[in-house]
Amino acid sequence: TRQSSIGLQNLDRTNGPKILYKCAKLMRTELNEYMDRYASTNDSDADVSNDEMENYTNLKRAFNKLVTMVSDIVVLNRNSLEYSRMFLQNNKWCYFMIDKGLPYHPDAVLQFVNDALERNYCVEHKMLTTLKQNLKKIIETETDTDADMESDDDFDDFVLTQSTNLLRYIEKNFNGETDTKKTEL
């Protein structure tokens, strides 16, 4: 659903984007710790309790919702720069969404990134380099998944198509050595 103007004004006025960024960063750190802990245990190990597994699941769900909410604010308020700029003008948010959000939840973050690039946000060299790397990983993963499972899932097709198109757009419109666009949309 589209966020109300009053709610978005309040979010902006109360430094909401900064608070949400701190929450997102903390959640991602916790998720990494959980993943590291689970990766170090074998399937036969009973070290992972049901409570820990439930905490991990809830944390993943909360992170997913937070990333989706930020992306929705940008995408759904595309024509209201006063609201979408809360996240697009903040290089921390741009890099976080590219580096941490995209690999974890590509279906929501791809639209955020697409809108950002179309407006010439999130175009620093480091961001573009990381974005291209993550898009290539997504394309490789989705291509391997399609080949292995012969899935006709629309979700997978969306992620693969959007990632491929975004990668082509970056390669066509951004010079790898500078932070400026070669051509305008």
DSSP output for 135-165 = HHHHHHHHHHHHHHH----HHHHHHHHHHHH
Q: Is residue 178 over pLDDT 70?
A: no
| pLDDT single digits (tens) 36-72 | 887 766 555 556 788 888 999 999 999 999 999 999 9
- C-alpha distances out from residue 24 to 80, 95, 133, Å: 24, 12, 22
Q: 122: phi > 0 → left, psi -120 to 50 → alpha, else beta; which?
A: left
Could you tell me which residues are beta bridge partners of residue 181? Answer: 174
> How many other CB atoms sit within 10 Å of the CB of residue 75?
15
Q: Please give the single-letter amino acid code of residue 163.
A: S
| Closest residue by Cα to residue 4 from 76, 65, 90 | 76
Record the pTM: 0.81
Q: Which of 24-33, 45-54, 160-169 is predicted least confidently?
A: 45-54
| Closest residue by Cα to residue 11 from 113, 97, 83, 115 | 83
Q: What is the mean pLDDT of residues 98-112?
A: 92
Q: What are phi and psi of 155, to 5 degrees?
A: -60, -50
| Closest residue by Cα to residue 118 from 165, 178, 64, 65 | 165
Q: What are phi and psi of 119, to 5 degrees?
A: -100, 10
